[in-house]
Chains A and B, each alone.
Chain A
Amino acid sequence: MSSIPSPFPSVLVRSLRTNALDRVGRWARKRQGMDPNTTRLRPGRVYILPTGVGIVFGIMVFAMLLGSMNYTNNLSFVLTFMLIGIGLVSMHQCQRNLVGLELSFAGAAAVHAGQILRVSIAVTNHSKNTRYGIRLYREGMRTDALVLQAGESKVFTLHVPTNRRGWINLDRFGVRTVFPFELFRSWAWLHMDIRGLVYPRPAENAPEPPPTMVAHGHRQHDARGEEDFAGLRKYQVGDSPKHVAWKAYARSGQLLSKQFAGADTSSQWFSFSDLTVADLEQRLSILTRWIVDADRSLEDYGLRLPGAEFAPAHGEAHKRQCLEALALFDSSAS
């Protein structure tokens, strides 16, 4: 991955360029409308312009044409016209290299604010021809160029920097190629409904989490050595295989976990209202830090938010539930 080296040195020119690109982008958005999350590129939406190299090439060929005319040299006419022909053909080749590609949004794993959201886009070449030098890009970054063999599908990853919790949208990204000779760059803009969830940033120096409440159940270390069976619930990722109700699974085909009451579990309650920090985001950050730490040390924890409560548990699903709630927490709604 590399950032695009801007050919425009001055800040003013760069801002003008950004402005112009924004306008063109808005125009394209208006023209194309919203794309479904799996989109095949029609010819009408693949744009093309010469690159810097292409412009230099054009100037050189024009000079060669003048030279050939001046020397009335028929073989240098051949050379010049071959180069013009190659230019024209490569223009069409460059556009055709994109047309027909299928792009589909293949997910974006949630991250914490400040981390980089990795948006996966699967690109499929349905044709019987290899497509060279395909790369995806969004404002400020581009992926490496890849080759897509006939029928091949590859996943490209776009990086979206995040700085605040909640949903983050990738309004627009592009796919482009300079194949074959870098004389032309053809590209297509895509506007898919791409959303990624951003959890709050774990606080840097959070206060100590509230003390662990060891729930002393009926610890009966009797001969049977069994804890009190309390019921079944849906299996969640992270539940111990020992607690899976295998007999029930055999009957119904559904994975269920046995729940035990009075198990000797140390559980914590992370409560929004117990925090004394005034700032809402800071509070959420602290809660996030606690959850992340508790999850790392495999402790059970519960989360109390105004209007929502998650009973103490552990595991990936539980953590995700809690963090999602924090990410989307809206104080005004509660």
Chain B
Amino acid sequence: MVKPRGTDGSLLSSLPWTLAALALSIAPHLPYLPVWVIAAFFGCAAWRYLIEKRRRALPSVWLRAGLALACFLGVFATYATISGVGPGSALLAVMASLKLLETRQRRDQFVLLFISIFLVMSSLLREQYLWSLPYLLVSILVIMTAWLRMSATAGETARQSFSTGGRLLLYAAPVAIAMWVFFPRIATPFWAVPMDTGTARTGISDSMSPGDISSLSSSDAVAFRVRFDDTVPAPRDLYWRGLVLAVFNGRSWTQNDPFEGPRSFEEIEVRGEPVSYEITLEPTRQPWIFALDIPDSWTLERTVMGPQHQLARATPVDQRIAYRAISYVDYSTNVDLTEYARSWYLRLPADGNPRSRTLAREMRESAGSDTAYIESVIRKFNEEEYFYTLQPPALGSNATDEFLFDTRRGFCEHYASAFAVLMRAAGIPARIVLGYQGGELNPISGHMTVRQSDAHAWNEVWIDGRGWYRLDPTAAVAPDRIDYGVSDAAFEGFGAAWGFAAPSRIMHRLTLAWDAMNAKWNDWVLGYGPENQGKFMEWMGMEDPSWRKLMLTMIAVVFIIVAIVSLLLALRYRSPAKDPAAQLFQRFARKAGLEPQIGETAAQYAMRLGQLHVLPETTIESVTKAYHDARYGPDDDSALKRLKIAVAASSRQRLPSLPAR
């Protein structure tokens, strides 16, 4: 059956709200959606609105079917899959666009609002910021108002719908909070979830090519936040170990193939006090887990330490995760390095970078010992004209040679790479560690924020008798970089350069406050998992919280809240108390045994009652007069009292019933 396609403008009261709900729920997806999907959605929304406004006909079935086919093929062509948040939200947006074009009746908008809800949900799966919560609440309010508009009866204004929606949301909020707090959180998901593989990875990559165009992140984005249990280590000890690169092809450093490289574990000997802390790692979509050098233990499932003390998780970090770890800043590795491993850490390409190799050999010979050679290389970086810059020039084919002898400008990657090449060329095993260095302590919340701009590369060299030893050639060039961190240096420079230290200091404080809020938000809202929930329950006095106890508590609390809401609603809908005088007169009527008629005045009733001869005329008269005085007389209680007495007295004054005729 072909449905009629014409519109009559009957949707004009609800369609704008539905469109607003859809637009709001699609907004967080805009940066991720293909342009054609965005265009299709807004195009269809405007088109549908104009159709309704001008009372035109909806597009034909064939046009709609063609558009639908094109859109679904388009999504498939863009993503090559339909699972995952990216393609899923694109599909939802496309479905909303198409459904708009066949929305004929008010009730068809249900589907659109369901799609809105799913779009909001998928945006939350993608990212959860501090503003996500207010956004979420506003979205629900608009969706629910649109819902009310859709099912509104004639004569119900948008304002009424909006306030009804807001009121119901207010009633629903305590229920939601109680459920959120008590709903038992589980540690492991039921099934593996395909996360959006299309999204760019962030943070540190698993290789580095110092010769290529500068790619160091100067982004202020947070990499992770740390909360130390006790003392905060000194800035020079804040090396956050990530991954280890050991293979050099003359231009790029990469990790070794785990099946090929040195696989024997190096034993660690730790000294001094342990540092325990908790890290909240932002999603990187990579498996690396960062910890203070050197991690001794950590609480993260499916996470193992590689042979080079790098931590990695079996699955990429697709969501913000929190874990605790204990590290020792003072440590040494064991003294044995197998011949195979030694050869591995000495490998250089057969040719290339000839000047560097010659330099290494000469310096090693003149130094006499390995340690003296290392010191002399560090001194070379420190004393000769080498500059730390985030915008180094690109390098040619012999990148190390060009950097060491010609350009002499670079950042940590350049120094670490050149240093490793110089070490290996002189027969000293060396490797590169990628991670973060430093971090900014937030004075408001006490946590430390490590940003993408703190990403760093440093070296580890093997010294016979001491094991792997950390060396940071960048520190030799830009010691401030290590002692204060990038952000502080940049901040001071900025303030001094523009001569307004005070406002920028305020800005800095605001930034810190915002960061502190985010940290709390992450810890207590986004990170409210099994562990935090258990802690919170114990704090609230629940002994040994189990999911069973939590579930029962949740049901009980929700029940109580709903009962209170029901009571509030009952109060809202109660009928106003009747006039006390009218109530007394009614009682009088009941006693007299004569039902007042609708629309009958007290005087008329009294006359009718008088004819029945059940009460003396005087009684009827006194009650009626008192009633009139109480209702229409001066505003005092005396008449009401008289009425009360008269009514009470009336029952004793019944006349003997007349003999039946």
Which A residues have a C-beta under 8 Å from some C-beta of B? 43, 53, 56-57, 60, 64, 66-67, 69-86, 88-90, 92-93, 96-97, 99-100, 126-133, 144-147, 178-182
Give every chain A residue within 8 A of B148 (Cβ-Cβ): 180-181
> What is the 8 Å Cβ interface bit string for chain B, positions 168-196, against chain A (1 contact, 0 not)?
11011111110110010110011101000
Is there contact, CB below 8 Å, between A79 and B124?
yes
Give A192 to B156 CA distance when docked, in angstroms: 30
Residue of B nearest to A131 (CB): B573
Residue among A64, A89, A126 making CB contact with B576, cutoff 8 Å: A126
The residue on A at minimum CB distance from B184 is A69
Q: Which of A53, A66, A86, A179 has the most C-beta atoms of chain B within 10 angstroms of its own C-beta?
A: A86
Taking A66-B190, A82-B140, A146-B155 as known contacts, 18 extra A-B pairs with beta carbons closer than 8 A to each other, sorted by chain A number, are A60-B118, A71-B125, A73-B124, A73-B319, A75-B136, A78-B133, A82-B172, A84-B179, A88-B175, A93-B168, A96-B572, A100-B574, A126-B575, A127-B573, A132-B160, A132-B164, A147-B154, A179-B151
In the assembled complex, B202 has its CB within 8 A of some CB on chain A: no
- Cβ of B502 < 8 Å from any Cβ of A? no
Docked CA distance A289–B193 (Å): 79
Q: For residue B569, which residue of chain A has the nearest CB?
A: A96
* Shortest Cβ distance from residue B7 to the other chain A in the assembled complex, whole angstroms: 19
Chain B, range 124-177, C-beta contacts under 8 Å to A: 124-125, 128, 132-133, 136-137, 140, 144, 147-148, 151-156, 160, 164, 168-169, 171-177
| A104, closest chain B residue (CB) | B598
A77:B133 contact, CB within 8 angstroms = no
Chain A residues near B110 (CB-CB < 8 A): 53, 56
B570 touches A81 (CB 8 A): no
Contact A73 B529, CB 8 Å, known A78-B133, A78-B176, A79-B140: no
Contact A92 B136 (CB under 8 A): no
Instruction: Assess whether B197 is interfacial by the CB under 8 Å rule.
Output: no
Do A132 and B156 touch (CB < 8 A)? yes
Contact of B180 among A66, A81, A99 (CB under 8 A): A81
A-B contact pairs, 17 of them (CB 8 A): A66-B190, A70-B190, A70-B193, A72-B185, A74-B180, A74-B527, A75-B128, A78-B176, A82-B136, A85-B176, A86-B169, A86-B172, A89-B565, A92-B562, A99-B573, A126-B576, A133-B151
Cβ of B566 under 8 Å from chain A: yes
Secondary structure type dominating chain A contacts? helix
Q: Is the CB of B569 within 8 A of A92?
A: yes
- Cα A180 to Cα B164 in complex, Å, equals 8
0/1 per residue, B550-592, Cβ < 8 Å to A? 0000000010001001100110111110000000000000000
Give Cα distance in the complex from A82 to B170, angstroms: 10
> 7 smallest A-B Cβ distances: which pairs?
A85-B172, A85-B175, A81-B176, A126-B575, A81-B179, A145-B153, A96-B569
- A69 proximity list for chain B (CB < 8 A): 186, 189-190
Given known A-B contacts A82-B169, A181-B148, A74 and B569 have beta carbons under 8 A apart? no
CB distance from B281 to the nearest CB of A (A): 15
- Minimum Cβ distance to chain A for residue B104 (Å): 14
Given contacts A82-B176, A86-B144, A128-B576, contact A73 B151 (CB under 8 A): no
| A-contact bits for B182-216, CB 8 A (1 contact / 0 none) | 01011001110100000000000000000000000
> Would A147 and B156 count as touching, CB distance under 8 A?
yes
Q: Which residues of A sit under 8 angstroms from B155, Cβ to Cβ?
A: 146-147
Report A325 CB to chain B, min CB distance, Å: 28
Verify A130–B176 contact, CB threshold 8 A: no
Residue of A nearest to B572 (CB): A129
Chain B neighbourhood of A179, CB < 8 A: 151
Known A-B contacts A78-B133, A129-B572, A132-B156; the reply to A73 vs B125 at CB < 8 A is: yes
Partner of A71, one of B132, B193, B527: B193
**Which residues of chain A come closer than 8 Å to B154, judged between CB atoms?**
144-147
Instruction: Evaluate whether A86 and B168 lie within 8 angstroms (CB atoms) in the complex, with A75-B526, A76-B125, A78-B133 already known.
Output: yes
Asked if B570 and A96 make an inter-chain contact with CB atoms under 8 angstroms apart, the answer reads: yes
| Partner-A contacts on B (CB < 8 A) | 110, 114, 117-118, 120-121, 124-125, 128, 132-133, 136-137, 140, 144, 147-148, 151-156, 160, 164, 168-169, 171-177, 179-180, 183, 185-186, 189-191, 193, 319, 525-529, 558, 562, 565-566, 569-570, 572-576
CB distance B151 to A178 under 8 Å?
Answer: yes
What distance in Å separates the Cβ of B310 from its nearest Cβ neighbour in chain A?
Answer: 26
In the complex, which residues of chain B have a beta carbon less than 8 angstroms from the beta carbon of A129? Answer: 572-573
* Shortest Cβ distance from residue A106 to the other chain B in the assembled complex, whole angstroms: 11
Specify which chain A residues have a CB less than 8 angstroms from the CB of B144 in the assembled complex: 86, 181
**Contact in complex: A127, B179 (CB < 8 Å):** no
> Which of A64, A73, A88, A99 sits near B562, CB closer than 8 Å?
A88
Chain A residue numbers with a CB within 8 Å of B528 are 74
Neighbouring B residues of A83 by C-beta, 8 Å:
117, 140
A178: chain B residues within 8 A (beta carbon): 151
Please state if B180 and A72 are interface contacts (CB–CB under 8 Å). Answer: no
**Beta-carbon contact of B114 and A81 below 8 Å:** no
- Residues of chain A within 8 A (CB-CB) of B168 are 86, 89-90, 93, 180
Task: Enumerate chain A residues within 8 angstroms of B117, measured Cβ to Cβ.
Answer: 60, 64, 79, 83
Given A53-B110, A78-B180, A85-B171, CB of A127 within 8 Å of CB of B124: no
CB-CB under 8 A from A57, the residues of chain B are 114
A76 to chain B, nearest CB (A): 5
Q: How far is the CB of A245 from chain B (nearest CB, A)?
A: 26
Q: In the complex, are the beta carbons of B121 and A67 less than 8 A apart?
A: yes
Chain B residues, Cβ within 8 Å of A90: 168
Q: What's the least CB distance linking A24 to chain B, in Å?
A: 24
- The chain B residue sitting closest to A88, CB to CB, is B562
Docked Cα-Cα span, A88 to B176, in Å, equals 10
Task: Check B124–A76 contact: CB distance below 8 A.
Answer: yes
Question: Whole-angstrom distance from the CB of A125 to the nearest CB of chain B?
Answer: 9
Q: A85 touching B566 by the CB < 8 A rule?
A: no
Q: Please, which residue of chain B has its CB at the minimum distance from the CB of A77? A: B180
- Chain A residues with CB below 8 A from B319, complex form: 71-73
Q: How far is the CA of A3 from the CA of B179 in the complex (A)?
A: 41
User: Please, which residues of chain A bring their CB within 8 A of the CB of B151?
Assistant: 133, 178-182
Residue B189 contacts which of A60, A70, A126 (CB distance < 8 angstroms)? A70
- The interface centre, meaning the residue of A66, A90, A144 with most chain B CB atoms within 10 A of its CB, is A90
Which residue from chain B places its CB closest to the CB of A68 in the assembled complex? B121
A127 to B176, CA, bound (A): 29
How many Å from the CB of A282 to the closest CB on chain B? 42
In the assembled complex, which residues on chain A have CB atoms less than 8 Å from the CB atom of B136? 75, 78-79, 82
Residues of A within 8 Å of B128, CB to CB, are: 73-75
From B155, B169, B566, B573, name the one whose CB has the most chain A CB atoms within 10 angstroms: B573
B179 in contact with A85 (CB, 8 Å): yes
**Which residues of chain A come closer than 8 Å to B573, judged between CB atoms?**
96-97, 99-100, 127, 129, 131
- B172 with A88: CB separation less than 8 A: yes
CB distance from B28 to the nearest CB of A (A): 11
B residues near A96, Cβ cutoff 8 Å: 566, 569-570, 572-573
Measured CB to CB, the closest approach of chain A to B194, in angstroms, equals 11
Assembled-state Cα–Cα distance A102/B175 (Å): 32
Bound state CA distance, A43 and B567, in angstroms? 12
Looking at the assembled complex, report how far the CB atom of B134 sits from the nearest CB atom of chain A, in whole angstroms: 11
Residues on A with beta carbons closer than 8 Å to the beta carbon of B133: 75, 78
Closest to A40 in B: B575
Q: Which residues of chain B have C-beta atoms less than 8 A from A77's C-beta?
A: 180, 183
Closest-CB distance, A4 to chain B (whole angstroms): 14
Asked if A81 contacts B183 (CB within 8 A), the reply is: yes
Complex Cα distance, B529 from A303, in Å, reads 89
Taken together as a complex, chains A and B put the C-alpha atoms of A133 and B148 apart, in Å, by 11
Residues of B near A128 (CB, < 8 A) are 572, 576
What's the nearest-Cβ distance from chain B to residue A74, in Å? 5
Contact B153 A89 (CB under 8 A): no
Q: Is there contact, CB below 8 Å, between B526 and A74?
A: yes
